[in-house]
Structure 1
Amino acid sequence: MKIAVIGSTHAGTAAVTNMANLYPEADITVYERNDNVSFLSCGLALYVGGVVNDAEGLFYSSPEQLQKLGVTMKVQHDVKKIDPVRKTIAAINLITGEQIYDHYDKLVITTGSWPVTPPIEGIDLENILLAKNYHQANTIIERSQHAQKVTVVGAGYIGVELVEAFEKAGKEVTLIDGADRILNKYLDEEFTNIVEEELKTRNITLCMNETVKCFEGSEGHVNKVITNEGAYETDLVIMCVGFRPNTDLLRGKIDMLENGAIKVDEYMQTSDPSIYAAGDCCAVKYNPTGGHAYIPLATNAVRMGTLVARNLMEPTMKHVGTQGTSGLHIYDLNMASTGLTETSVKLTGMHVKSITIEDTHRPAFMPTSENVKLKVAIDPQTRCILGAQVISKADVTQSINTMSVCIQSGMTIDELAYTDFFFQPHFNQPWNFLNKAGLEAQSNEPVPVPQPLG
C-alpha cells in the first residue's frame, strides 16, 4: 500500500503519526513545502509578544521524528499537480528545482489554509506581512523591533491577540476591520463590547466599519493605511483578514463548498474513494445546523487527521462533528464560545432563543469573586442547546467545553437546569451558573398543570 500525504501541519502530522503506527508495512510519503511540520500557529501571538521565548516549543513534531517512524519526508517540496484518474503526483524540489513524479494508492490531503490577501493597491509594499507560519512569525518579530506604529487589519482571534502583544511591547496600535465590532464571528455584541472597552483603555485605536482602500509608502516601505473613513500612519501592517482553504490542486476534481473547502463524509473520505482529507482544507459536519461548515481550528484538524488514519483502509470510526468550540485570553479577560451565536444564526435561516445570566463565579462570603456573563442559545421548539458564550476575569472557560458536549449530545436547556455539577466555594456556587441558565429558561415558561386521571 502506497500512501501519499500532502501537507503536514496539525492534520497531516496527526494522520502520518497514526498511519505509521497502524500500518507499519505501508509506504508513506509526505510532501511539505515548508522545512518544518506541526507549527502551532495559535501560539504565534504569544511568540511575537515574548510570552513564549523559544519557538521550538511551538512544534510538537519534526521531519526527523516522522522519519524515525519509517515515513519518507519530502520537505521543501511543492506539489504542482494531482491526477486522480492515474493516481499520480507531480512536485518540485524547492531547493534544487528537480521535478518529482510519484503515484499513490491512497492520497491524504492536509494542505491546510492560507491567509486571505485582498487585491488592495500597495499590498506588495515592504512591511505588510501575513501571520500564519513559523517563518512569518520570525519576520514579524524582526520587523516590529524597528516599528513604533503598528496596524493590524482584521479583528478575529489572531488579529486581536497580536494587538495585545504589540501594545504590551510599547507600540502605538491601530486595529481595522470592516465589521462593526471585533470578534464578531465568535461572540455577540454584549461580549465584544467588554473586550473593546478593555482595548480602548490601553489606548488602542479601534477602526471598526472601515475598509482598507489602499496602502501608501515611500522608498518601497508602507507608511500609511487609507480606509474609506481616514488615513493612518504606520510603520508595519499585519494582515489578518481570514483564511481560505488551500485546495486549488483539486478544484473541479472532488466535491467542495463554494469557498473551496473539501467536503468529506463522516469517515473523512472525499467524493473520490481513493482521496481522504482533513484539517483546515476541509468542511466538516457542524452539529448545531447539521450541515457542512468551514471551521479552521487546530482542534478540529488533529481529530480529523487521526480519523483519516483509522479509516484509511476501511470505515471504522465516525467523525462526531464539531461545534466550533474556541477560547481566548485577552489581558485579564477569559472568553470562550461554542455553537451558534445570535450573529452567526442570521446566516443559517434558523431561529434561536437566548438566555443571558450574570452572576459571580463564587459565593459572596468568599474574599473575592469575579463577574461571569453567560449566554445560551436554544432551539425554541425542541429546547435543545445550540450555542453558548462566556466571559469573565475568572477562568471559567472550561464551562464552554461542557456546553459543547451538551450540543453534541442533543441536551435540552431543561436538562441542563438540573445536571449534576459539584459545589465547592473556592470554585463555584451551590447552583452552578450553567444550571442557572437552565433555571432562567424555565422561569419564562408556563408550568404544565397536571391533568386528573380518568
Structure 2
Amino acid sequence: MKVAVIGCTHAGTAAVKELTATNENLEITVYERNDNVSFLSCGIALHVGGVVEHAESLFYSSPDELADLGATMRLKHDVLEIDSTNQTILAKNLLTGETVHDTYDKLIMTTGSWPIIPMLPGIELNQIELCKNYHHAQTIIKKATDAQRITVVGAGYIGAELVEAFEAYGKDVTFIDSADRILNKYLDRSFTDIIESELTDRGIQLELNQTVQSFTGVDGNVTQVVTDKGTFETDLVILCVGFRPSTELLKGQIDMLPNGAIIVDDYMRTSNPNIFAAGDSCAVYYNPARTHAYIPLATNAVRMGTLVGKNLLAPTIRYQGTQGTSGLRLYDLNIASTGLTEDAAPFFGLEVTSTTVQDAYRPEFMPTAENVQLKLVYETATHRLVGAQIISKVDLTQAMNTLSVAIQNEMTLEELAFVDFFFQPHYNKPWNLLNQAALQGMKELTSERV
C-alpha cells in the first residue's frame, strides 16, 4: 500500500513513526517543504531568551531518523496539487525545479498551520518577521541583536513569551493587541490583570484594545507601527496574530470548517475514506463545548498523528477529543488553563457559573506558603465542569491536567468536591485545592438559593 504524508512537523512525524513501527508492508513517502522535521516552535522564545542555547535542540526527530525507519523523505518539495478523485499528487522539487508526479492509496494530510499575515500597508517592509519555524527563530535572533525597540503584535502565548525574552535582554518592548487584555483566549480577567501588572512593572509598554492599521519605514526598513490609537517607533516587529490551517490543497474536496480546518471523525478519517488528517490542519472535537473547534496545539498534533498510524488500516482506537489544555511560565508566574474561560463560554452557547479560590497552597505553619488563584467554570444548569485556570509563583500547573481529565469525563462540581486526593503538608492542605474550589462553588450555589 502506498501512503503519502504531506507535511512533517508534529502530526506527520508522529504518524510516520507509528506506521513504521507497526506495519512492514507500507510504502511511505513524505513530502515536506522545509529541510527539517519535528521543530518545536513553542521553544522559540526560550531560544530567543537564551534558556535554550541551540535552536537545533528544539528538534526531537530528523529526516535521517524517519528514513532509517523506512520512509522515503522528499524534503524541499512543495506539493502543488492533490487530485483526490484519481489519488494523485503533483509536487515541485524546490532545489532542482523538477516536477514530481506520484500516486497514493492513502493520503495523510498533516500540513499544519501558518501564521496569519495581515495584508496592511507596509507589510512588505524589512524587519517585520513571523514566528513559527526554525528559520524564523534564526532570523529573530539575528535581527533582535541590533534592534533596540521591538514591537510584538499579538498577545497570545507566543507573543507573551517573546516579550519576556526581549525585555530580559534590555530591549524597549511594545506589546500590541486588538483585545482589551492579553491572553484573553486562555484566561479570564482576574488572571490577566496579574500578568499585565508584572509586564508593566518591568517597563513593557502595553498597547491594548487597538488595531494595527499600517507600517511605515525608511530605506525599506520598518520604523513605525501605526494603530487606530497611536504611532509607535520600532526597529523590529514580530507578528504573532494567530494561525490558520494550511489546507488549500484539499479545498472543495473534503469537509472543512469555514476557516479551512479539516473535519475528521473519531479515527482521524476525513469525509474521503482514503484521506486522513491530523494536527494543526484539522478541527478537533472540543469536549467542553461538545463541538468541533480550531485549537492548534502540539499536544493535539502528536496524539492525532499517532492515532492516524493506529487507525490507517482499520478503525482501532478512537480520539477522545481535547480540552485545549495549555501552560505558560512568565517570569516567576506559573500559569495554566484547560477548557473554556467564563468569557468564552457564551460564544459556544453555554450558560456558565464560576468560582474562584485564592488561598495558600499548603498549611500556613510551613516555612513558606505561596498564594494561588484557582478558578473553576461549570455549566449553570448541570454543574458539569467546562473550564479551569490557575496562577501562582509555586508550580501547581499539573492541577490543570487533573481538571482536563475531569472535564473530559464530564464530572460535575459535586463530584470534584469529594475526589480522593492525598494530603501532605509539603504539598497541599487536608482539603486539596481542587476539592476546596468545588466545595466553595457548592456553598455559593446554596447561598444563592437562600
TM-score (normalizing by structure 1): 0.98
Identify the residue that residue 259 of structure 1 maps to in structure 2. Answer: 259
- 1:226-247 C-alpha deviation (Å, 9 max, x unpaired): 1111111000000000000000
- Aligned-partner Cα distance in 1 for 2:186–2:58: 24
CA contact (8 A) 2:362 2:428 kept: yes
How many residue pairs get aligned? The number is 447
Q: Give the secondary-structure state (helix, strand or coil) at the position aligned to 1:444.
A: helix
2:22 maps to 1:31: no
Alpha-carbon deviation of 1:56?
Answer: 2.0
Deviations along 1:14-41, one digit per CA (max 9) or x if unpaired, are 0001011111111000000000000000
State how 1:71-150 maps to structure 2 within 5 Å: 71-150=71-150
**Alpha-carbon separation, structure 1, partners of 2:205 and 2:147:** 16
* Aligned 8 A contact 2:55 2:137 in 1: no
Structure 2 length normalisation: TM-score? 0.98
Distance 2:52 2:446 in 1: 53
Cα distance in 1 for partners of 2:398, 2:129 equals 34
Pairing 1:351–2:351 present = yes
Q: Secondary structure at the match of 1:263?
A: coil
Kindly indicate whether residue 245 of structure 2 is the aligned counterpart of residue 245 of structure 1: yes
SS, match of residue 11 in structure 1 = helix
Kindly provide the CA deviation profile for residues 282-308 of structure 1, in whole angstroms up to 9, marking residues without a partner as x. Answer: 001110111101000000000000000
- Correspondence 1:129-278 to 2 at 5 A: 129-278=129-278
Q: State the alpha-carbon separation in 1 of the partners of residues 8 and 57 from structure 2.
A: 17
The amino acid of 1:54's aligned partner reads: H
Paired letter, 2:85: V
Partner amino acid, structure 2, of 1:120: L
- 1:446 CA displacement: 4.0
Partners of 1:135 and 1:444 in 2: how far apart?
52
Alpha carbons of 1:424 and 1:100: their partners in 2 closer, same or farther (altered >3 Å)?
Answer: same
Partner of 1:417: 417
Q: Distance in 1 between matches of 2:323 and 2:220?
A: 44
Q: How far apart in 1 are the matches of 2:243 and 2:343?
A: 20
Instruction: Determine the C-alpha separation between the residues in 2 that align with 1:438 and 1:203.
Output: 38
C-alpha distance in 1, partners of 2:385/2:446?
19
Residue of structure 1 in register with 2:310 after alignment? 310
Q: SS in structure 2 opposite 1:343?
A: coil
Cα distance per residue 1:184-224 (max 9 Å; x no partner): 00000110000000000000000001111110100000011
What amino acid maps onto 1:282 in structure 2? C
Question: 2:348 is paired with a residue of what secondary structure?
Answer: coil
Report what 1:17 is aligned to: 17
State the distance in 1 between where 2:384 and 2:210 align.
37
Match of 1:400 in 2: 400
* Distance of 1:290 and 1:445 partners within structure 2: 25
Query: Deviations for 1:384-434, whole angstroms, at most 9, x for unmatched residues?
Result: 111000000110000000000000011111111111111111111111110
In structure 1, C-alpha distance between the alignment counterparts of 2:51 and 2:348, rounded to whole Å = 38
CA contact (8 A) 2:333 2:393 kept: yes
Q: Which moved more, 1:74-83 or 1:346-355?
A: 346-355
Q: Which amino acid aligns with 2:396?
A: V
* Residues 297-324 of structure 1: CA deviation (Å, up to 9, x unaligned): 0000000000000000010010000000
String of CA shifts for 1:367-399, please: whole Å, max 9, x gaps: 111111111011122211110000001100000
Aligned partner of 2:260: which letter? G
- Mapped to 1, the partners of 2:446 and 2:246 lie a distance apart of 51
Whole-angstrom distance in 1 between the partners of 2:343 and 2:19: 40
- Counterpart position of 1:50: 50
Code of the aligned partner of 1:304: M
Alpha-carbon distance, 1:344 to partner: 1.2
How much does 1:445 deviate? Answer: 3.6
Per the TM alignment, residue 99 of structure 1 is displaced from its structure 2 partner at its CA by: 0.2
Counterpart for residue 301 of structure 2: 301
SS at match of 2:8: coil
Partner SS, residue 327 of structure 2: strand
Q: Which amino acid aligns with 1:131?
A: C
**Sequence identity percentage:** 62
Shift of residue 443, structure 1, vs aligned partner:
1.2
Unaligned runs of 5+ in 1: 448-454
1:229-279 deviations in Å (ceiling 9; x for gaps): 111100000000000000011111100000000000000000000000000
Which one-letter code corresponds to 2:225 in the other structure? V
SS in 2 for 1:47: helix
Q: Aligned partners of 2:444 and 2:126: how far apart in 1?
A: 58
Corresponding letter in the other structure for 1:118: P
State the one-letter code of the partner of 2:335.
Answer: M
Amino acid at match of 2:313: M
Instruction: Identify which range, 395-404 or 411-420, moves more after superposition.
Output: 411-420
Q: CA deviation at 1:346?
A: 2.3
- 446 and 183 in structure 1: CA distance in 2 versus 1, 3 angstrom threshold: closer
Give distance in 2, aligned partners of 1:205 and 1:348: 33
1:436 maps to 436
Q: Distance in 1 between matches of 2:128 and 2:274?
A: 40
Letter in 2 for 1:38: S
| Moved segments of 4+, more than 3 Å | none
